[in-house]
Structure 1
Amino acid sequence: MKFTDKKAILFDLDGTLIDSAPDLALAINHMLTSIGREEISPAIIRSWVGNGASILVQRGLSGQTEIDPDLDPALLEKSLAIFLDFYAKNLCVDTVTYPNVVSSLQALKEKGYQLAIVTNKPYDFIQPILDGLSMNGLFSLLVGGDTLEKRKPDPLPLHFACEQLSVTVDDCVMVGDSKNDILAANAAKMQSIGLTYGYNYGEDINEHGPDVSFDDFANIVNALSDAKQ
């Protein structure tokens, strides 16, 4: 599939542009040991990533994907603070970009697209990670999970991005690895590209109806090759 007449591309961050799961796992296990809990396998924590920091911490405290409804609010507040403080100081220890991400983003920017990040990750972490992974200067807009009152899979962040970039929904494509990205795009009536790697809770991204899906980030450049004509 080709995407024509596009002006802007919205990208998820974790699981789409970067593999941040190792550092998120490091921060979750630091939080757990700080409150006297056992560490959890990084592979399990990886399966919990994608819904923002608070949900990740709640899953860590619950020890499973399904959040314990009886979590102590005071413990959650304390644990979230421990997690956020540690993670802020360890954003790029083992976090890396996925293959072909930086070169493809550069190619898309050179073609004249506006590039934006729309993530559920807290806003304050986005720019330091981009700086640490040599992706600074590529994006016109950064939207975090706490930028607005709602986050993906709600369409509000996508509509907000369109407004900020002065483009329409039809001018944009949403790119992500998670059902949250595709469901948000569907709700916004925006075309989407799903990526089969990343963090999608063990589900096939195609189950949620992206317009197309790719195994390799570089395929996005080809899919958008005629979009500026």
Structure 2
Amino acid sequence: MQTISTFIFDLDGTLVDSVPDLASALNKALTDVGIATFDEATIRNWVGNGAKVLVGRGLSGSAKHSTTVSSELVDHTFQRFLYHYELNVCRASTLYPNVYETLHALYAKGYTLALVTNKPKKFIAPILKAFKVDAFFSLFIGGDSLKEKKPSPLPLKHVIKTLNVDVNECIMVGDSKNDILAANAAGMRSVGLTYGYNYGEDIGAHNPNWVFDDFSRIVSITVD
């Protein structure tokens, strides 16, 4: 097995189930602009492409952004969403099972851990601190940190360059096709998790190197 030195994790749908707080913020923003709200189960299927896309889907009432929704309305509603989400960024969100224990185990074994998410960067640290996992990470990249976000490989390439590691030593871990597509484009191996936000699609269809139902299985690909 090739040497592994670095694990790069997605956040929402991989480490944290953030839908309860995202749904609450979205519905409050929609109410602010006079648009009907949606139940959490519906919003859950819209998460995964970044906060602004989520807002656009809420305004459209569909996973596909409607061309009848103006960019001005999206921008205004997005600012309302950010306001509400910042007030309640980690009120009802939860870590998925075995996440804390697995991150701790990898960190204790000496692996470098990084985080690449499409979520705005300012929300990352408060979430990691709330779950007491912030100390495990050497670097985190938000959706607004660079000029491109996943599924572009740019954030992963940025991590490789910043940490001065070889792409062959890195593993991307995520729950959606954007994570796997970014890894494939970067020439990086990947783990696809089945329990997150992937729009009802089979994560295995995007050809990750491993597919796991349980976060703790990640340890099985390491070498003691």
Alignment TM-score, normalising by the size of structure 2: 0.98
- State the alpha-carbon separation in 1 of the partners of residues 14 and 62 from structure 2: 23
Alignment TM-score, normalising by the size of structure 1: 0.96
Off by >3 Å, runs of 4+ in structure 1: none
Shift of 1:70: 2.4
- State the alpha-carbon separation in 1 of the partners of residues 178 and 219 from structure 2: 23
Root-mean-square deviation over aligned CA pairs? 0.9
Partner of 1:21: 19
C-alpha offsets along residues 39-63 of structure 1, whole Å, 9 cap, x if unaligned?
Answer: 1111010000010011000000000
Q: Which has the higher contact order (CA 8 A, sep 6+)?
A: 1
Shift of 1:89: 1.0
- Whichever residue aligns with residue 19 of structure 1, its letter is D
In the comparison of the two structures, how many residue pairs are matched?
224
- Whichever residue aligns with residue 114 of structure 1, its letter is T
Shift of 1:4: 3.2
What does residue range 116-195 of structure 1 map to in structure 2 within 5 Å? Answer: 116-195=114-193
What does residue range 99-118 of structure 1 map to in structure 2 within 5 Å? Answer: 99-118=97-116
- State the alpha-carbon separation in 2 of the partners of residues 72 and 176 from structure 1: 32
What does residue range 209-228 of structure 1 map to in structure 2 within 5 Å? Answer: 209-224=207-222, 226=223
Shift of 1:75: 1.2
Q: Percent identity?
A: 52
Shift of 1:132: 1.1
C-alpha offsets along residues 80-130 of structure 1, whole Å, 9 cap, x if unaligned?
Answer: 000001101101111000000011000000111100000101111000001
Partner of 1:59: 57
- State the alpha-carbon separation in 2 of the partners of residues 106 and 125 from structure 1: 22
**Is there any run of 5+ residues in structure 1 with no aligned partner, and where?**
none
Is this contact kept in 1: 2:9–2:172, CA < 8 A? yes
**Is there any run of 5+ residues in structure 2 with no aligned partner, and where?**
none
